[in-house]
A and B are shown apart, each in its own frame.
Chain A
Amino acid sequence: MLFNKKIMLFVFVSVLISGGCQMANGNNQEEQLKPSEMSVEDLPDVRAFQDEFTRSFMKSTEEVADNLYPFESGTGLYEMWIPGGTVISKNSYTLESEETFESFLTGIENNNGSESSLQMTFNNFDKIEFVEEYLDSVKNQADEDIVFEKTEDSNKDIYMGKLESSSDNSFGETMSYAIFIQNKSGDGSAQIFYTTSCSEGSDVECTELVDDEENKLTKIAASFNFLNTNSKEEDKDEQ
């Protein structure tokens, strides 16, 4: 009993001390806190932040473009913007132990009443010289001869194409896109399949959404940023 009392006294004192410490520097750090470190009440009422698993990938609560928020990969090797209505399927999420491969499936609630899924497959070893083969692989997966439109920027090439067969179905209307992003300043690629469906009886027709959806996808693809190893370490230091 004596032993227990001693502990309790000590614990009581130390809890006071540690609590005090936290309070003292709590305010200073608030702005730098990652969403995953913030208390639930302080998070925006946006799906991506309300879901605990998805929140752990969110870089900040700041809306960077119309309903788009910054996401950082579990590999630490890329970041991109994702819609606020995104939830990452925890069960689908795969991160290889060396953190050089990541894949997951998300479900997205769009503001216009439609819903989307986004399937991401990232690796850090794909090389630009074989990009044609990678595009063939994307076509094989979609099981159709996608026509890709290429957009270049200084450190990546973006290939985006619409899947034609996907619009033919009986349960609501859907539109699907394939995006392949090849790193130019190092190795690595990201493959994205994106499908939006407008549910039956919904006010919006899919055809009305095409422009919006394509604009959004273009923004997401352009926001994709390969982080090289150096900047990854800098990132860690900042924390």
Chain B
Amino acid sequence: MNNEVLFSESLRLRIIELEYKNLDEENFIKEVKRIYLEETGESLELEINYLSSNDAKRLEGDKSGYDGTAIHFYSEKQNIDQIYIISQGSTDRTDWNYNVGSIFAGTRATQSQSIYRFKEEALENFKTDSKSQSTTTIIGLSHSLGHNNNIIAQLSEDVFDKLYGVNGAQPTIYQLFETDINFREALIKRFKINRSDPDSIYGLPPDELKAFGEDYYKDKAQNIHQTLSVDDLLFALAGTRGFVMLGNVEMVDTNPELSGLRDMMDKVPDEIIADFQQLAIQYADASEKGDSDEVIKELTGIDMKLVDKYRDGGVLGFNFVFASNMKETENMIQDVKTKLPELLRLVRHISDNGEIIVNELAANGYISESEKTTLLNEIESVRSNLETILSNEFSVTKIGDIISAASSLSNSPDVFKKILGPLLKEIVHSHSIEEMLNTLGKENGRMYLGNDMIAVGQQDGQEVHVNISEAIRMYQEGQALLEEKRGAIFVIMRTYQNGLVEAFDTEKTKVVTIINDIEHNPQAYSASIFRKYVYSARGQKTVTKIEVHDSLTPLTGISFDPIWEQLTTAIQRTEDFLTSTREAIEQIFQKDEIIASLFNYHFAEGVEESGHRGVY
């Protein structure tokens, strides 16, 4: 353990996961405290400050897509002054195609400028009087693409004191060649790269470049820590062309049922990877520009929107469609002419070697034997469709043939999707933080579901899963609700006591006092008695004694006791339920110090000191 506030892998992973939720300041800090408590059994007693990249002055107008959160932990007493910068992977995590495409291609823009500027903003924002900025430790956290950005920023300009990444996209030599001037110069010298032709670096043996890069950054990488799933596609890719793996790397098998993709990728010859890479570059470029039609257009030159127009136009409308889209049609033909031969070359190469890839997928259980056959047929069909298109003489007169071949081509993505979809889903899950958290948590009896922590225990020889986050929320909210109910009952009982019981007594006392007074001072009341009851005054008469016959009925029929009893019993029952739930959970996890102290904390402090309730 070190003095870093987020000292464990689970803490860091959960905070990275939290960052994707785009919470506001109040909720983010609240969740950080909750996670800290759940993971350590202790409350986080220090100053916490928050800054979102959306609020950074320096990034106003920055549309490069950098999304991050800076969080500052500060305590003068504990000698803690740490800023964590969490860089978000990608704004749209579901855009897997784009992610893979651009990383694979290695062309994705690094946002290291934005990261540097955000760090400066955080330092200014979190400036404390008692400390100079130089003592602030800056720690980077990230997942996926965010790690690629962080690591490029780190290697080219030392942004962080320490960097943690999970299932990160590794940098490529080519990215670093572009962004890091000193590394570029070192490469040019070592490999005698023709300075005036930078792209000639792609012709150099990737293994040698990789070895050189890993050695060059050896010292700088000492503060980089990575946790990677062997089942993550990004890890599989990291073995391919030009990727460098830097820092202290911990490998975790998060999906033991599958054997991991890396071995498969390593079996694919480097030239095919190179072809894939080239395809990926084009694909990434195209998807940056627009939708899937744009991708097809970019790769093949076929304008699907135009093809659709022709198809919708039918036989009679064909001439009409052509007449009104003459220029587009000519352009498309020109475009297909230049792009398709190169694409076909790539597809042929991939199709010639397709069996290796598809066989590996089947052998490793990613797809079934029948899916394997379908997949191979489809690759073959794409190839033959492309060949049909190419075998045509390229002229506007052949537009009909091109369109029919293009139409048959348009079904292929669906076939690929159907088979590769579930496979991708599994692979994508292995890229997630959740799967990593669950794997790492296993030995401590922890599982994770979204932002909730689940404890795994044993009862009567059976495995029991308890959602601790949920249980504590229930316990907390239950206690708060009970408190509220007790308050309401108190108000009802007080009203009953004041308005009925005490009021009755007061009135009774008033009457009795007057009765006593009358009986003690009969003369004082003679006048009113004569006026009321003696109608003719015959001589002097005096009242010597008044005796009042009183009969005051007690207050009956409106007792609140049963109601009170009912209400308090209900409360007691709820309380018993909460307590027994808590005890049951504590019983199951009696050896788990953290869970025991979690409930203690809430019970002892959370309720007594209501100020602590803010923890949840």
Residue ranges of A at the interface with B (Cβ–Cβ < 8 Å): 3-4, 6-8, 10-11, 14-15, 18, 85, 87, 89-98, 100-101, 103-109, 115-117, 119, 121, 123-127, 130, 133, 137, 140-143, 166, 169-171, 174, 176, 187, 193, 195, 197
Contacts and interface: CB of A to CB of B under 8 A. Distances in A.
Contacts of B322: 7, 10-11, 14
Nearest to A8: B397
A11 B109 contact: no
22 contacts: A3-B318, A14-B322, A91-B281, A92-B107, A98-B64, A100-B62, A103-B179, A107-B196, A109-B196, A115-B194, A119-B179, A124-B61, A125-B61, A126-B117, A127-B57, A133-B117, A137-B113, A137-B116, A137-B157, A140-B116, A141-B181, A197-B195
B107 A91 contact: yes
B400 A123 contact: no
B198 A96 contact: no
A7 B400 contact: yes
B63 A100 contact: yes
Contacts of A93: 107
B62 A123 contact: yes
B396 A11 contact: yes
Most chain B Cβ neighbours within 10 Å, of A85, A100, A105, A115 = A105
Contacts of B64: 96, 98, 100-101, 123
A161 to B, nearest CB: 13
A76 B178 CA distance: 22
B380 to A, nearest CB: 29
Contacts of A137: 113, 116-117, 157
B204 interface: no
Nearest to A53: B199
B416 interface: no
Given A11-B322, A124-B61, A142 B196 contact: no
Given A107-B197, A117-B195, A89 B178 contact: yes
Contacts of B116: 137, 140
Nearest to B106: A91
Contacts of A126: 117
Given A10-B323, A14-B323, 12 more contacts: A11-B399, A14-B326, A18-B327, A18-B330, A91-B202, A91-B281, A101-B109, A105-B178, A107-B196, A137-B157, A171-B188, A171-B189
Interface in B30-73: 57-65
Given A7-B400, A14-B323, A166 B185 contact: yes
Contacts of B120: 130, 133
B180 interface: yes
A18 B326 contact: yes
Nearest to A107: B196
Contacts of B59: 125
A72 B198 CA distance: 20
Interface of B: 57-65, 106-110, 113, 116-117, 120, 156-158, 174, 177-182, 184-185, 188-189, 192, 194-199, 202, 281, 288-289, 315, 318-319, 322-323, 326-327, 330, 396-397, 399-400
Contacts of B113: 101, 121, 123, 137
List the 8 shortest-distance A-B pairs measured between CB atoms, nearest first. Answer: A98-B63, A125-B61, A140-B157, A94-B109, A107-B196, A89-B198, A115-B195, A171-B189
B199 A96 contact: no
A166 to B, nearest CB: 6
Contact of B181 (A94, A127, A142): A142
Contacts of B180: 141
A15 B180 CA distance: 52
Given A130-B117, A137-B113, A141-B156, A107 B198 contact: yes
A130 B185 contact: no
Contacts of A123: 62, 64, 113
